[in-house]
Amino acid sequence: RKEVEQDPGPFNVPEGATVAFNCTYSNSASQSFFWYRQDCRKEPKLLMSVYSSGNEDGRFTAQLNRASQYISLLIRDSKLSDSATYLCAVNGPYQLIWGAGTKLIIKP
Amino acid sequence: GAGVSQSPSNKVTEKGKDVELRCDPISGHTALYWYRQRLGQGLEFLIYFQGNSAPDKSGLPSDRFSAERTGESVSTLTIQRTQQEDSAVYLCASSFISSGYEQYFGPGTRLTVT
């Protein structure tokens, strides 16, 4: 089992819809969790940190489920500009462990 | 403030030549990481520097790859005798401390080996 797993997608979603995807992790001792966004041929950019209580930033909501060892990202009222690959990252002993990413395509 | 910078942005080289890639981390960031990303693939960890500690080289794919970092500043990734399978984007990231702190990425160097 990989340390951090994501559904590669692609998720094809109509504009304005709500979409959610998860990221599972294997190390129950992990304490820090992040969502990054990577546009085509660009570097990953930090989207949100994921806190124990969950956090929201505009249309984006991130949550942590420690019992089932996954984090989630919810995007409401999706825009064409949300099309990207979403990477999750979970702390390991000395560095972040990365998922392979979920590709999201928003269609008009 | 200034983010992570990398140079060159693009590099085309002939098979068998050596290449050197440069990364300037965010000022004050003690941890620096190199990743490789092949087209359509995820991030592949290469090497990690934390302050003055010995680097974690566990991700380097072969002895043709090496990296150095001067103190808590610039890092260079060197690939000797390049092969076509080395073609990829090489990303550098830095963070304030290592594990548990978010990483910030540079724009990457796109390496093409012909």
Q: Report the C-alpha gap between A45 and A38 in whole angstroms.
A: 6
Question: pLDDT for A7-61, tens place per residue?
Answer: 999 999 999 999 999 999 999 999 999 999 999 999 999 999 998 888 999 999 9
Q: Which residues of B touch A93 (CB under 8 A)?
A: 99
Rg (CA), chain B: 13
- In the block, tokens 């500690």 appear at B53
Measured between alpha carbons, how far is residue A6 from residues A23, A89, B66, B85 in Å? 5, 10, 30, 25
Q: What is the chain A residue with the closest CA to B47? A: A95
From B78's Cα to the closest Cα of chain A, the distance in A is: 20
Measured between alpha carbons, how far is residue B15 from residues B19, B34, B65 in Å? 10, 22, 15
Task: Output the pLDDT for position A85.
Answer: 98
Measured between alpha carbons, how far is residue B8 from residues A45, A76, B78, B91, B94 in Å? 20, 38, 13, 11, 18
Find out whether A34 and A89 touch, Cβ atoms under 8 Å. Answer: yes
> Would you give the distance in Å from CA A46 to the centre of its chain?
10
Interface test with B, best of A3, A46, A87, A96 (most B CBs within 10 A): A96
Residue B43 has pLDDT above 70, yes or no: yes
- In this complex, the residue of B45, B99, B105 whose CB is nearest that of residue A43 is B105
Find out whether A27 and A3 touch, Cβ atoms under 8 Å. Answer: yes
Of the listed ranges A57-61, B37-41, B94-98, B105-109, the least confidently predicted one is: B94-98
Question: pLDDT for B49-90, tens place per residue?
Answer: 998 888 999 999 999 999 999 888 899 999 999 999 999 999
Question: pLDDT for A76-93, tens place per residue?
Answer: 999 999 999 999 999 987
Q: What is the chain A residue with the closest CA to B32? A: A95
CB-CB under 8 Å, B108 with A31: no
- In the block, tokens 């012909």 appear at B114
Polymer length of chain B = 114
Q: Report the C-alpha gap between B19 and A44 in whole angstroms.
A: 24
> Would you give the distance in Å from CA B37 to the centre of its chain?
10
